[in-house]
Amino acid sequence: MIDPADIQNIKQRFGIVGNAQILNYAIQIAMQVAPTELNVLITGENGTGKESFSKIIHQLSTRKHGQFIALNCGAIPEGTIYSELFGHEKGAFTGAVEAKKGYFEVTDGGTIFLDEIGEMPMEAQAMLLRVLESGEFIRMGSTKVAKTNVRVIAATNVKLQQAIENKKFREDLYYRLSTVPIYVPPLRERGNDILLLFRKFATDFSEKYRVDPIKLPPEAAQLLLNYSFPGNVRQLKNITEQISLIEYNREINAETLQKYLPKIPTNQHNRTPILSYESQENSNNFSEREIFYRFLVDMKKDVNELKKLFLQVLQKENINWQDLMHNHSELFDEVNPEEFISKTPTLLPEPPNYEKTTNVINLDENATINTQDIQHEEAEEDTLSLEEQEKELILKALRKNKNRRKQTARDLGISERTLYRKLKQYDLEDIE
């Protein structure tokens, strides 16, 4: 378990502002995966700060002394991306007057951050898959296989599953990249972090332009919280800079703030504005905590039952359980032995008297009771009960997220692949 103080130190080190649980969880995953060599896929909208998470992973890894290169796959022309990534030999194409190393060769022993991985051409995807699998690549215009030891962190703001269906992204590459997925939440999902970021930007720009920092009264602050910010942190920073530079009155009321918040076409962004962070925290909607609470309560009951069972065994074996209770009372703080030991002389009940009950059961003389079948049926009933509980949780999560599978999987704490398997298992694929 990551210490909250360590998460706070990481925020200060990498300039991350915010206290939202969903943001802290993403940072925690980045810290946990950093010391490993696993590939990471960072998902999130534009402007959420995905590159900051790639730097966290690199700086906390054993490769921190190696080179770190961040590339935007969407900004490299399709005709040159292969050469940029894997290099080329002299004369490989017009203008190749000398051999050149690619980024994967230059960054040997370090980390490459491939932003907008969904924009990578299929040819480059095939070579990237080979690098991930074997560390091998071939320069453009060469037949010699070269080796590299590079950790790949990828990021995307598009739905790669949809790109796979449209034959624009390789499915095998997707599963190679997404060994550990990290979801960076959009600003509208971070509650009061919006106000924290606004105050931080306002202070920065007051120092930059040598003016007093702008402030928001409660009604203006609520207006800011209600806005969905399609441009996320980057958009909030730009709006704060505009207001800091243009407005003479340093207390910005709701009417003034409204002028700086662009209207969002409803057909472009199907997003629900947040009301306040407190209302989110106090809601009774399905959450990941609900699963943990149920699990802890059930586990506590099981532990108490085991304590009672243990004391019954001691009594049956004529062991002095009173001395045990006296010497280790902290182990039995919620168990009162007087409640069940005096009433339970032996661990197991007396075997049933079949001679007295044959008229009720109505067995033939040759009939036998197959205890294995009975045990199998009881186990099957327990299994069905667990499956029904799991199915109910999945249905509840689907309804809460309006059948959005990605959000549902995140709420349940499982991967999308696992969710789709569960939906198929419980025949929920066509649920609306």
The string of DSSP letters for 42-59 reads EE--TTS-HHHHHHHHHH
Q: Degrees (nearest 5) of the Cα angle 385, 386, 389?
A: 90
Residue 96: partners with Cβ closer than 8 Å, 6 or more residues away: 83, 88, 89, 90, 141
Contact assessment for residue 115 and residue 52, using Cβ atoms and an 8 Å cutoff:
no
Q: Under CATH, what is the fold of the domain 4-185?
A: Rossmann fold (3.40.50)
Domain ranges of the chain: 4-185, 188-281
Q: Tell me what pLDDT residue 227 has.
A: 94
pLDDT: which is higher, 195 or 342: 195
Mean pLDDT, residues 242-252 taken together: 93
Going from the C-alpha of 421 to that of each of 12, 169, 431, the distances in angstroms are: 40, 21, 14
Q: Tell me what pLDDT residue 137 has.
A: 92
- What is the rounded radius of gyration, in angstroms, for the C-alpha atoms of the chain? 30
CATH of domain 188-281: 1.10.8.60
- Which of the four pLDDT bands, split at 50, 70 and 90, describes residue 123? confident
**Is the pLDDT confidence value at 224 over 70?**
yes
- The predicted-structure confidence for 13-63, as pLDDT tens digits, reads as follows 999 999 999 999 999 999 999 999 999 999 999 999 999 999 999 999 999
- The predicted-structure confidence for 340-364, as pLDDT tens digits, reads as follows 444 444 444 444 444 444 444 444 4
Going from the C-alpha of 28 to that of each of 47, 56, 194, 224, 419, the distances in angstroms are: 20, 10, 21, 28, 23
Contact assessment for residue 57 and residue 153, using Cβ atoms and an 8 Å cutoff:
yes
Mean pLDDT, residues 74-83 taken together: 88
What residues form DSSP beta bridges with 113? 70, 153
- The type of residue at 1 is M
> DSSP letter at 251?
B
Number of neighbouring beta carbons within 10 Å of residue 370: 8
- Residues of the chain with pLDDT > 90, as a percent, come to 52
For 159-191, b/e burial (b = at least 16 CB within 10 A) is: ebbebbeeebbbeebbebbbebbbbbbbbbbbb
Going from the C-alpha of 295 to that of each of 202, 289, 298, 299, the distances in angstroms are: 44, 10, 5, 6
Q: Tell me what pLDDT residue 273 has.
A: 39
Going from the C-alpha of 306 to that of each of 126, 300, 344, the distances in angstroms are: 55, 10, 15
Which residue reads 């249905």 in tokens? 395
Mean pLDDT, residues 116-129 taken together: 92
- The type of residue at 431 is I
Mean pLDDT of the chain: 79
Q: Tell me what pLDDT residue 415 has.
A: 82
Q: Which two three-digit tokens encode residue 40?
A: 């990471």
Q: Which two three-digit tokens encode residue 108?
A: 């040997």
**Is the pLDDT confidence value at 171 over 60?**
yes
Q: Tell me what pLDDT residue 249 has.
A: 93
First to last CA, the chain: 37
